[in-house]
Chain A
Amino acid sequence: MDALKDRIALVCGRLAGQILRLRRKDGATALPGLVSGLISKNLLCSLSQNMVDGVVTISGTNGKTTTTNFLNLILEDAGFSALTNGAGSNLERGLISAYANSVNILGKYPKTALQVGLFEVDEAELARTFDQLKPRVSTFLNLFRDQLDRYGEVDNLALRWQDMIGADNWQGTIVINVDDPNIYKLQECTTGEVTTFGIEDDNLEITDIHNVKDARFCGKGSILRYDTLYMSHLGKWRCDCCVVSRPKPRVSAQNISLRNDSSSFDLVIDGNSKKITIDMPGLYVVYDLLAAAATAYALEIDIDLIVSSLNKVKAPHGRQETFLLDQKEIRILLTKNPTGFNETIKIIMPAFESVKVNLLAILNDGIQDGEDVSWIYDADVERLRRYNIDLVCSGVRASDFALRWHLAGHNPRLVCPNIEEALDKALDNVSAGGRLDVIATYTAMLQIRSILVNRSRKAKHAII
């Protein structure tokens, strides 16, 4: 009977999605899941059982969507058919929506060979759904301070993850970023397989050791030391009191070269070294590529195939996505916590102080953005003090952002909560061939993106 109930639930969800899509072009990433979830509480189990080759979860503060997209590309190339929740819809309802949207009219999921479920899962939601999802491989990216108002504290989350993977009835593989001491600790809790990844590059120039550090102590309360610090608290750490240090990862990035609009490095997997070059800047993208490669490797996918897939990746939406309108380039940089903000600052910082930066900075305070906007004070905006910035601030908390930039020596030309209006005003000062960088929190990113998608569509029609 339960199976029948599940199918009815899925059909209802599917229908709800279809109705919603009649009215809106995009979306239906939450409603089907909500509807189905009302009828059956058992759907994640049923979902998990339908994935013949298992479920893969990707979780962590930063990089979930990008990593999931990279991995999806590899899986496709490897001949897998992946059910996935795109677009950052990473709560239980998002997973069930993906499931409901793909059942047939009888509520049955079309079982195929080489079927995997690939899901990015919100950090807190992972602990709640882990039991039902029973992932074959669970990948852990990092834990930064993000939305403390929603998650409680970083330490609590780390403890919940430890309990979760230490459960007797779970024997899956974990893929972990050993550069993050909190994530490294997970391997002590599992009896299953462990695949480690991290950066191996002592020459990587670290220009700043900023104030963002979320894992400063070992379990006994001693301060961790760093031989190399790559980003925030990620690096080659060691703890003198526990006599533990970060181990050499099985999957690593070496000889990293970061440029303003691209990155390249050697991907080294168990001693095999291959070159990766992509047209996305930023060290965190290197981490996302590494995580995708390590997870694919844990899924026993061929190394050459992993490399050839990763060499052709593109930015997923809202994560450094660029639009071209009226000969002006608009680049969206999703920024939602201090670590991400510091990385964004490095990306927008031009080579010379005299080069003008056009910037639209949008701060929202919805649940998905983090209702507490304090985090803007923890990023080192002061690094941009001497640069020439044409700044427009927008979003629900436009004036909080304006004050932050003001304290860092940049008075915005305009403070305008309405995003569309702010975009136009920001574009006014961009010359043809120039670029506007947009810093946006999560819901702000969705809003600005939808405006830009619409405008691009109209522009295309006009040309035809």
Chain B
Amino acid sequence: MRLFDLPLRVVSLYPDIMNTYSDRGNLLALQYRALQQGIEITLEEISVGDLLPAECDILLIGGGQDEEQKRISKDLKAKASQLQNWAEEDVSILAVCGGFQLFGKWYRDNKGNYLEGTEVFDMTTIAPRTAKFRAVGDIWVTSLIEGIGDVVGFENHAGQSYLGPHVSPFATVKFGNGNNGLDSTEGAVYRNAIGTYLHGSVLPKNPMLLDYLLSNALSHRYNENLEPYFSSPSPFVLQAQSTAMDVTRRKSEKR
């Protein structure tokens, strides 16, 4: 069954480097869901030194350790203006953890080194020098994007992110730390670009977020909203999400 005529063009950015926390699951979930909906996907994996393709409907980038972030930052800077253009053109973007940090303006690591970001998000991130604090644990947030609702995952970051006036938070924190552990915000949204700290991987068990990204990508490709055509997610997806919610609530009550 082919519901849609044109393939969606997916770009996975630095999959060989930015995958410390298994964000590869996001691509697996996207591919699975697309297949289920009769959407064909062409995937381009882009790493350091590769040129970005001319067109893209969905862009994914995952998390990495400080060393890996350093490794890509120069290359990412070279790609920044095209990535900004894509964000302005409403390309669907998901940037997770380390990738999210580098989609802000800059990231300062715990040794005081600055890494420049793509500036897709009006946001800065600081890993405190004397950090005993590391945000680690199950997290449950409620998205501020209409229709997405609750989102669950696992966060693991030393960096604390602060949003500027030109970007909105992706969600408010129900259980967990979020951007900085202070202002209850989690992630960032600019047009169709979403940044978040959530691993898990986040897309497999958050079907509303996955469908949101997918339908934005279809709108980008076809200029119309096609989400109503989507079938409901598999029971395995919903069960995994509700278990994650139970676990998160139980663990946070214990703390």
Residues of A within 8 A of B (CB): 145, 148-149, 152-155, 211, 213, 216-217, 221, 338, 365, 371-378, 382, 396-400, 402-404, 406-407, 411, 415
Contact A149 B204 (CB under 8 A): no
Binds A, one of B50-58, B77-85, B133-141, B170-178: B133-141
Does B32 have its Cβ within 8 Å of any Cβ on chain A?
A: yes
B34, CB-defined interface residue at 8 Å: no
| Structural contact, A148 and B156, CB atoms closer than 8 A | yes
Q: Which positions in B face A, CB cutoff 8 Å?
A: 15-17, 19-25, 28-29, 32, 65-67, 70-71, 134, 136-138, 154, 156, 199-201, 204-205, 234, 236-237, 239-240, 242-244, 247, 251
Cα distance, A374 to B19, chains bound together (Å) = 11
The answer, among A213, A217, A338, for a CB contact under 8 Å with B22, is: A338
Residue of B with least CB distance to A370 = B154
Cross-chain contact B205 with A372 (CB below 8 angstroms):
no
Structural contact, B236 and A371, CB atoms closer than 8 A: no
CB distance from B67 to the nearest CB of A (A): 5
When A375-B22, A397-B243, A399-B243 are in contact, do A406 and B154 touch as well, CB less than 8 Å?
no
Contact across chains for B243 and A400 when beta carbons are under 8 A apart: yes
The distance in angstroms between the C-alpha atoms of A433 and B248, with both chains bound, is: 42
Count of A-B residue pairs with CB < 8 Å: 99
Residue contacts A-B, CB under 8 angstroms, 21 given = A149-B136, A211-B19, A213-B16, A216-B16, A216-B17, A221-B67, A371-B136, A371-B138, A372-B21, A374-B22, A374-B23, A374-B154, A374-B199, A377-B24, A378-B19, A382-B28, A402-B236, A403-B236, A406-B236, A407-B25, A407-B32
Q: Choose one: A145, A154, A221, A378; the contact of B24 (CB below 8 Å).
A: A378
Q: Are A377 and B25 in contact (CB under 8 A)?
A: yes
- Smallest distance from the beta carbon of A182 to chain B beta carbons, Å? 11
Sample of 4 more A-B contacts, CB < 8 Å, known A145-B20, A403-B240: A155-B67, A376-B25, A378-B24, A378-B25
Give the top 7 A-B pairs by smallest Cβ distance, nearest first.
A377-B25, A378-B22, A403-B240, A374-B22, A399-B239, A406-B236, A399-B243
Q: Chain A contacts of B137 at CB under 8 A?
A: 149, 371
Residues of B within 8 A of A403 (CB): 204-205, 236-237, 239-240
Please, how many angstroms separate the alpha-carbon atoms of A406 and B28 in the complex? Answer: 11
Inter-chain contact B201/A377, CB cutoff 8 Å: yes
Which of B28, B66, B70 touches A407 (beta carbons < 8 Å)? B28
Q: Is the CB of B71 within 8 A of A400?
A: no
User: Do the beta carbons of A415 and B239 come within 8 Å of each other?
Assistant: yes
Report the Cα distance A415→B236, complex, angstroms: 9
Q: For A371, give its contact among B24, B29, B134, B154 (CB under 8 Å).
A: B154
Contact, CB under 8 Å: B65 / A402 = no
Q: Are A402 and B240 in contact (CB under 8 A)?
A: yes
Asked whether B234 lies within 8 Å of A374 as measured between CB atoms, the reply is no
Residues of A close to B234: CB separation below 8 A: 406
Once A152-B134, A153-B66, A372-B21 are accepted as A-B contacts, the answer to whether A407 and B204 lie under 8 Å apart by CB is yes
